[in-house]
Amino acid sequence: MAQEWNIKSRGHVCTVCGKPLVDKSPVVSVLKELPDGYERWDCHPECWKSAPRNWEPFSSWEGVYLAPPPPDAKKEPLKKETADELLRHLIALEDPAMKNVVYVLAVMLERSKILVERDAREQADHTIIRVYEHRRTGESFVVLDPRLRLENLAEVQQQVVALLSGTKTLGEVSAAEERNETKQGSDQ
């Protein structure tokens, strides 16, 4: 059985003849099913056609080979997630431990005029469901306002800043938020 999920990057030389693939030229990419996953082939179209083989591809497609960017471009640091990308990412994660982080990030985006608040509904437990709209894209974001106590706000803001600057990972922040939650729960 092959894996269901799998990511493979593209090769830079032809799997059949071993010569480099040519920038902006057609390339045939093939996934060959193996007992424990897939093997990826990237070939000159003529090599793929003429190569003798006794197996059928799991998948094959024709694309255009693009050479990797020159080395100096590669040295640039990875583009950091922007605040609104981070919000999309966090909402998609649906991690309950991150509820304070999600809310504070949304408020920061509202203050910087990226989001605008469109609606707010108080719930029975006095938390508030706030609906924000992205000014540029028109996306709507439904965010729980957990009614953070002021003394907790600064701490959560620091976590958001750490995520945006890349000094902390989502996993680290989630674990820290979970510990805070437990601590606050036992204080009450």
Is 13 an interacting residue with respect to Zn ion (CB under 5 A)?
A: no
Q: Which of residues 119-138 bind Zn ion (CB under 5 A)?
A: none
Strand partners, 10: none
Among residues 45 and 166, whose Cβ is nearest to Zn ion? 45
Based on CB atoms, which residue is closest to Zn ion, 32 or 99? 32
- Could you identify the residue written with the tokens 């894209």? 137
Q: Which of residues 25-64 bind Zn ion (CB under 5 A)?
A: 44, 47
User: Of all residues in this chain, which one has the CB nearest to Zn ion in the complex?
Assistant: 14
Minimal distance, residue 49 CB to Zn ion, in Å: 10
Under the criterion CB under 5 A, does residue 14 sit at the interface with Zn ion? yes
> What are the structure tokens assigned to 19, written together?
């010569």
Distances (CA, A) of 4 to 29, 31, 34, 37, 118: 18, 13, 12, 8, 41
**Of 170, 187, 186, 185, which is closest to residue 101 (Cα–Cα)?**
170
State the residues that interact with Zn ion by CB under 5 A: 14, 16-17, 44, 47
